[in-house]
Structure 1
Amino acid sequence: MMDPDNCTWNQSFILAGLTATRMIRSLAFVGTLCIYLLTLTGNLLIIVLVKADSGLSTPMYFFISVLSFLELWYVSTTVPTLLHTLLHGRFPILSVVCFIQLYVFHSLGMTECYLLGVMALDRYLAICRPLHYHALMSRQVQLWLAGASWVAGFSAALIPASLTATLPFCWKEVAHYFCDLAPLMRLACVDTSWHARVHGTVIGVATGSNFVLILGLYGGILRAVLRLPSAASRAKAFSTCSSHMTVVALFYGSAFTVYVGSPGSRPEGTEKLIALVYALLTPFLNPIIYTLRNKEVKEAVKRVADRIRTTWKGL
């Protein structure tokens, strides 16, 4: 460890990107760009459908549209720098821009964590409190819960982002394709064990408490569903939760893999590969998961398409 008194404060960092041959990087660029464009299209489609079709004007689809809006920003926070490194290799990034990326990325990640908890609460009320569901989940309550998720996420991320930004850095090359906690902390010329504990506590509380909440709510849902009289009604109740449970498994599986434990304790290459899952593939899969086997969304697509065709014929 270098003496912090001999360190200089970096004005910029260098993003190393993915280590691969030029041919592999070119193929990865094309694949990543296609996934990115499909992710933007899929999530925009969900937002437009929920807004345009009255059949999707329910609390569940409102929260799905909020999640899709979040995913648009989440994937756009890191993928453009990934595309740049794949196309041009290593490139410099101003330290201010790097720390902004770090903060926004973690803010959106924690917001998604809270939002998934809100969506589990919505499913719990719909299944376990059906007679009072619409009163409990009024439009005002929906807006308040969605807004609270964003405020909580962006507030919690201030702690790890600000602590990391105040570190003295003695090296410039970030062994990643975007600015994340672990690769940045490796560049510090001071002992970061205390920072790692604070980061782990903040991120652990945000993700862990919501995960426990989701498990508890789904435990209540399971008990309520098993008491339903017919197999058809039980299957219908489970089908309304299956998409959300799949998204929760993807999100928390990757999050726990990356952030449980000390940042920087895993090999750099492993962190990059896992980051591709939660920063690129999960936002890409979410709209597919919510629409592929969803009859209501398919019917909404047909209704909106019919309205568009009718409008064009009338012109």
Structure 2
Amino acid sequence: MKRVSHTELREFVFQSFSSFQEHQLILFVVFLTLYILTLAGNIIILAIIYVDHHLHMPMYFFLSVLSNSETFYSLIIIPCMLSSLVGLSQSISLEGCGTQLFFFLSFAITNCLLLAVMGYDHYVAICNPLGYSVITNWKVCAILASSVCATGFLLSLVQTVAIFRLPFCSPLIEHFFCDIWPLLDLACATPVTNDILTLIISLLAITGPATFLFKSYVLVISIILKIASAGGQKKTFATCASHLTVVIIHYGGASIVYFKPKLENTKDQDQLISVTHTVIIPLLNSVVYSLRNKEVQDALQRVQGRKFFP
């Protein structure tokens, strides 16, 4: 293969799903369906929260921010992957690749941090219910949400700049979008500094929030177990069951993607893991919050009732 220097290279070519060429039309239909369902789920959540005043509380404010972030997260990746599957475009400019990586990482990190903030909200609501309205007032919620988004975009900017300062020796990305590890594999030199930076950012965006959430839920569960009635325990735990489910799915998937050891000849396996994290998990998040959240279900019924029985 001809080696291409960083100054000469102006575009990358995706080698996505090259092992499944005979099934690419089927993959296109499946991924398009999942993408539409993800968009529909997030739009329904946003619309319900906006319309129903019962959900105008910090918990659902953070959920609306998460749904917005998940929507843009999917928008950055999936349309590009779909066009590649049907042969419309399998290349991306150097600038386009950098832009895609920046926004992908920005929303991915923001989602991880938002889940931690939502966990803090649940913790305060259960462990300090009398001070909940003071601790999580709307000003605090706005500061937390904006801080999380700013942190996500800042960490993403640092990572993206560090990667695109490297010289690349090949334009062929063995992946379906511009992600960290596929780009580092194209670097001419061994990017030790980038590996360390990626590890640090992964610890800040995944391990740190996950540790905080683990400690928070240990305290939450200890409070729940002190409730005298079984019905009270069940009702209290139900308020955070959907969030805990999403946390396990989201951080589990992210940990596999960014902490899995890099091995030889695992291109198809890596793509399958990435598909799970970028296509399936966002859908599961919206499904969990819409189907397993009783307050969202009740709000949906109220909205339907107002529509058909004004």
Q: Same fold (TM over 0.5)?
A: yes
Q: Does 1:112 align with 2:108?
A: no
Kindly indicate whether the alpha-carbon contact (under 8 Å) linking 2:41 and 2:290 is maintained by their aligned counterparts in 1.
no
Q: Which residue of 1 aligns with 2:15?
A: 16
Kindly indicate whether the alpha-carbon contact (under 8 Å) linking 1:183 and 1:264 is maintained by their aligned counterparts in 2.
no
Kindly indicate whether the alpha-carbon contact (under 8 Å) linking 2:6 and 2:166 is maintained by their aligned counterparts in 1.
no
Pick closer, same or farther for the CA change 1:156–1:265 going to 2, 3 Å: farther
3-state SS in 1 of match to 2:12: strand
3-state SS in 2 of match to 1:169: coil
Q: Which residue of 1 aligns with 2:41?
A: 42
Q: Which residue of 2 aligns with 1:299?
A: 298
Kindly indicate whether the alpha-carbon contact (under 8 Å) linking 2:3 and 2:169 is maintained by their aligned counterparts in 1.
no
Summarize deviations over 1:176-195 as a string: whole Å, max 9, x none: 00000111111111121221
| In 1, Cα distance between equivalents of 2:169 and 2:248 | 38
3-state SS in 1 of match to 2:168: coil
Summarize deviations over 1:257-297 as a string: whole Å, max 9, x none: 11115667782212111111111111111111012132222
Q: Which residue of 2 aligns with 1:130?
A: 129
Pick closer, same or farther for the CA change 1:176–1:140 going to 2, 3 Å: same
3-state SS in 2 of match to 1:272: helix
3-state SS in 2 of match to 1:132: helix
Q: Which residue of 2 aligns with 1:69?
A: 68
Pick closer, same or farther for the CA change 1:266–1:279 going to 2, 3 Å: farther
| In 2, Cα distance between equivalents of 1:21 and 1:215 | 39
Give the deviation of 1:165 after TM superposition.
0.8
Q: Which residue of 2 aligns with 1:180?
A: 179
Pick closer, same or farther for the CA change 1:22–1:3 going to 2, 3 Å: closer
Give the deviation of 1:250 after TM superposition.
1.0
Pick closer, same or farther for the CA change 1:7–1:158 going to 2, 3 Å: closer
Q: Which residue of 2 aligns with 1:284?
A: 283
| In 2, Cα distance between equivalents of 1:96 and 1:264 | 29
Pick closer, same or farther for the CA change 1:263–1:198 going to 2, 3 Å: farther
Kindly indicate whether the alpha-carbon contact (under 8 Å) linking 2:246 and 2:288 is maintained by their aligned counterparts in 1.
yes
Letter paired with 1:100: T
Kindly indicate whether the alpha-carbon contact (under 8 Å) linking 1:16 and 1:90 is maintained by their aligned counterparts in 2.
no
Letter paired with 2:134: A
Pick closer, same or farther for the CA change 1:201–1:265 going to 2, 3 Å: farther
Q: Which residue of 2 aligns with 1:247?
A: 246
Kindly indicate whether the alpha-carbon contact (under 8 Å) linking 2:13 and 2:172 is maintained by their aligned counterparts in 1.
yes
Q: What are the residue-to-residue correspondences of 1:1-315 with 2, within 5 Å?
A: 8-88=7-87, 91-260=90-259, 267-309=266-308
Summarize deviations over 1:110-151 as a string: whole Å, max 9, x none: 111110110000000010001111111111111111111101
| In 2, Cα distance between equivalents of 1:160 and 1:186 | 15
Give the deviation of 1:305 after TM superposition.
2.0
In structure 1, the gaps of 5 or more residues are none
- When normalised by structure 2's length, the TM-score is 0.94
Give the deviation of 1:159 after TM superposition.
1.8
| In 2, Cα distance between equivalents of 1:126 and 1:7 | 52
Letter paired with 2:179: D
| In 2, Cα distance between equivalents of 1:298 and 1:22 | 41
Give the deviation of 1:213 after TM superposition.
0.7
3-state SS in 1 of match to 2:129: coil
Moved more, 261-270 or 152-161: 261-270
3-state SS in 2 of match to 1:14: strand
In structure 2, the gaps of 5 or more residues are none
Give the deviation of 1:17 after TM superposition.
1.3
3-state SS in 2 of match to 1:157: helix
Give the deviation of 1:19 after TM superposition.
2.1
Amino-acid identity (%): 33
Give the deviation of 1:89 after TM superposition.
7.3
3-state SS in 2 of match to 1:131: helix
> Could you say what the CA RMSD is over the residues aligned between the two structures, in angstroms?
1.9
Moved more, 42-51 or 301-310: 301-310
- When normalised by structure 1's length, the TM-score is 0.93
Letter paired with 2:275: L
3-state SS in 2 of match to 1:13: strand
| In 2, Cα distance between equivalents of 1:3 and 1:295 | 57
3-state SS in 1 of match to 2:100: helix
3-state SS in 2 of match to 1:69: helix
Number of residue pairs matched? Answer: 309
| In 2, Cα distance between equivalents of 1:136 and 1:147 | 17
Kindly indicate whether the alpha-carbon contact (under 8 Å) linking 1:39 and 1:284 is maintained by their aligned counterparts in 2.
yes
Moved more, 25-34 or 288-297: 288-297
